[in-house]
Amino acid sequence: MSNVKSSRQTRILAELVNTPSLRVAELAQQLDVSTETIRRDLDALTELGLLNRTYGGAIRRLSSEPPVHERHNLFIAERGRIAAAVLPLITSAKVLIIGSGATTVHVAQRIAAQMQDVTVIAHSFGVAQALAVNRTIKILMLPGSYNADEDTMLGAHTVAFLNNLYADTAILGASGLGNDGPSDALLETGAVYTAMVARAARTLVVADHSKFSLVFPARYAAWRQINHLVTDEPPEGALLKALQENHVAIEPVST
């Protein structure tokens, strides 16, 4: 995706944060492009599960995103770069908590390839499987109720078990990065992530630029609780201001 196209689509998603619905003609005028270009952008964002098309425009879906097995096929190169940027931040860690999601699986793959003798607390089977190739890594799988769409364990038992643990660093994904914090599409996942943040000395959020300015039902932390955001493009506008005001380190990734 070109930088211009990516930036335009990010602006479209940002508009949907404060506006319930968008019209093609208004977007075309605002972004100074043709209505056909806007329609193609809206179609592409619909395929990614980030909004719903309507007659003459679009509305954003607040409460859902594609299942994790579909998300694995999106933003593959970007997630790989994000994962590579995480490793220098955790070289001294001995106990990690890793959340579920497509990006965290990329991070787990990097950890398995480059780290040794660490303990990882996980609730995602995808993360556990990625780590399992390295026999020096101890994996502690959290209990709970299995969610097939996310391939992960969720629920009260997951949170209760977490509350007896402690880690150097939590590495969490997000469905959206709003001005007041990262959020997830599933309330149950949000509850687990909140517990993970509480049980770690510091927290890294790993998310690609398509999550910028999106808001989902379960905000799992305020930005003041997050130490690092590792992403593939620099955020702008209100999101950037919120990150700076809360002293969140924005980690660049190499292209």
73 and 144 inside one domain? yes
What pLDDT does residue 71 have? 59
103 and 10 inside one domain? no
What pLDDT does residue 67 have? 58
23 and 91 inside one domain? no
Number of structural domains found in the chain: 2
Q: Given a cut of 60, is residue 62 above it in pLDDT?
A: no
Question: pLDDT digits over 227-252, tens only?
Answer: 999 999 899 889 999 999 999 999 87
19 and 79 inside one domain? no
Question: Which of these three, 60, 79, 95, is where a domain ends?
Answer: 60
What pLDDT does residue 112 have? 98
CA 119, CA 97: separation in Å to the nearest integer? 9
Average pLDDT rounded to a whole number, residues 178-189: 92
Encoded tokens for 6: 């990516």
What pLDDT does residue 46 have? 82
Conformation bin of residue 213: beta by default, left when phi > 0, alpha when psi is -120 to 50: left
What pLDDT does residue 197 have? 98
Question: pLDDT digits over 63-110, tens only?
Answer: 455 556 555 556 678 889 999 999 999 999 999 999 998 899 999 999
What pLDDT does residue 64 have? 53
Question: pLDDT digits over 125-166, tens only?
Answer: 999 999 999 999 999 999 999 998 889 999 999 999 999 999
CATH of the domain at 18: 1.10.10.10
Question: Which of these three, 30, 60, 90, is where a domain ends?
Answer: 60
Range of the domain at 36: 3-60
125 and 210 inside one domain? yes
What pLDDT does residue 96 have? 98
19 and 97 inside one domain? no
CA 71, CA 107: separation in Å to the nearest integer? 15
Q: Residue 212 — pLDDT band, cuts 50, 70, 90?
A: confident
Q: Given a cut of 80, is residue 60 above it in pLDDT?
A: no
Q: Positive or negative, the Cα torsion across 47, 212, 115, 120?
A: negative
Q: What are phi and psi of 118, to 5 degrees?
A: -120, 155
Question: pLDDT digits over 105-124, tens only?
Answer: 999 999 999 999 999 999 99
Average pLDDT rounded to a whole number, residues 199-224: 92
Average pLDDT rounded to a whole number, residues 186-204: 96
Residue with the larger pLDDT of the pair 211 and 146: 146
pTM, two decimal places: 0.75
Average pLDDT rounded to a whole number, residues 207-220: 87
Torsion of CA 146, 126, 67, 7, to 10 degrees: 140
Question: Which of these three, 41, 60, 79, is where a domain ends?
Answer: 60
What pLDDT does residue 149 have? 85
